[in-house]
Amino acid sequence: MKKVVVVVLRVVLVLAVLGALLGGVAWWWVKERAVALKTPIVDYRVEQGMGPRQIAQRLRDQGVSVNADVFVALARLTKQDRQLQAGAYEIKQGDSLWQILERMVAGDMTHSSITFIEGWTVDRMLDSMQQHPDLKHTLDTPEKVHAFVQELGATYPYVEGLFYPDTYVFAPGSTDQELLRRAYQAQADILQQMWAQRDQDLPLSTPYEALILASIVEKETGHAADRERVAGVFINRLRINMPLQTDPTVIYGMGQQYEGRIRKRDLTTDTPWNTYTRNGLPPSPIALASKASLQAVLHPEQHNFYYFVSRGDGTSEFSKNLTDHNRAVRRYILNKGQ
């Protein structure tokens, strides 16, 4: 009887050791062994609501050698089957099954980015987004963008200039709406904060008017050091109801008719944005305005200049009266190259 007990104990011990060894091998297999890939890097997206089996099956479809049953068992045994986060992931050579699972649980996603540049119009923004391969495109016209920002609470009559120029990082597969929501909210927040700290007695009634003027300053400033002085010129003109007479507004009002240069008849052809034919500010911004241009408009340099002209090197020549301005125009524009 004792011999039988000893034999049974030995068998149990051997089975326990074998079980431990097999368990160790299995754990090594999922934790350390690299899965095979058809390509060096596989870009993979987990959609909202996908479970472990769907994820594993799609991984196989994209060239990742994953056993669906093992992936499901691993996720359930570690109680992580309900913690897998939707998003875009990068699977590289050398990744194990465990590393892939951990990455999806942690939400360690890959990211893309897009930059909206100061001075861009909403048309230019749309072009950039539509050309970006990692964005889902739902808005393809300024009118659709305008309708979208109205859903966000915007009450402005135009969509131009309502977005903050910056670099935005996003997960591949994000929509253009998600991106524009962030850019719109960023501009709204910054504008309100800066408006609350503006100089007193500015000839601007609303934050939107400040944004309009900032977009003009953005387009008119070729040298950053001139920004506050340029803003001061327009502020001085607004104070005395003098037309702003700024070419970028004329160009914006011309739309598709602009062919690279302004002719005399363009300056006298009336549009809502022609600041030669109309006093005051145009009805909307003409481009994306930087924070620096907003700062310049809300804290302009105080001076007696009412005119400026480009020197051709990015800087501007400022004048207090028309006689001096005409002299500067002859020097830097009419006699250029002579």
pLDDT in tens, 236-255: 999 999 999 999 999 999 99
Q: Are residues 257 and 168 in the same domain?
A: yes
Residue 31 has pLDDT above 70, yes or no: no
Report how far residue 319's alpha carbon sits from residue 330's, in angstroms, rounded to the nearest whole number: 13
SS3 label, residue 144: helix
Query: Is residue 318 in some structural domain?
Result: no
pLDDT at 32: 63
Q: Are residues 80 and 142 in the same domain?
A: no
Could you list the residue range(s) of the whole structural domain that residue 225 is in? 111-303
Q: Are residues 58 and 201 in the same domain?
A: no
Residue 24 has pLDDT above 80, yes or no: no
Amino acid present at 96: S
Q: Are residues 207 and 241 in the same domain?
A: yes
* Pairing mode of beta strands 316-319, 307-310: antiparallel
CB-CB contact of 297 with 214 (8 Å): yes
Work out the average pLDDT over 223-234.
96
The total number of structural domains in the chain stands at 2
| Token pair of 9 as six digits | 């104990």
pLDDT at 13: 44
Query: By mean pLDDT, which of 26-35, 190-199, 275-284, 316-325 is the weakest?
Result: 26-35
| Token pair of 66 as six digits | 């994953």
Query: Is residue 19 in some structural domain?
Result: no
pLDDT at 11: 43
CB-CB contact of 104 with 46 (8 Å): yes
Residue ranges in 1-51 assigned as alpha helix (H): 2-31
Q: Are residues 66 and 132 in the same domain?
A: no
Residue with tokens 């709406």: 177
Amino acid present at 202: L
Q: Are residues 180 and 269 in the same domain?
A: yes
CB-CB contact of 82 with 46 (8 Å): no
Strand partners, 44: 89
Between 43 and 133, whose confidence is greater?
Answer: 133
Phi, psi (deg, nearest 5) at residue 114 = -145, 145
**Which residues fall within 8 angstroms of residue 182, CB to CB, at 6 or more apart?**
168
> Domain ends where: 54, 86, 106?
106
Residue with tokens 């991984």: 59
Q: Are residues 47 and 118 in the same domain?
A: no
Query: Is residue 219 in some structural domain?
Result: yes
Going by C-alpha positions, the residue among 47, 104, 63, 48 that lies closest to residue 81 is 104
Transcribe 203-246 into DSSP letters: S--SHHHHHHHHHHHHHH-SSGGGHHHHHHHHHHHHHTT-----
Cα 114 to chain centroid, rounded: 5
SS3 label, residue 267: helix
Work out the average pLDDT over 164-191.
93
Query: Is residue 328 in some structural domain?
Result: no
CATH number, domain of 60, equals 3.30.1490.480
Q: Are residues 136 and 101 in the same domain?
A: no
Report how far residue 320's alpha carbon sits from residue 306's, in angstroms, rounded to the nearest whole number: 5
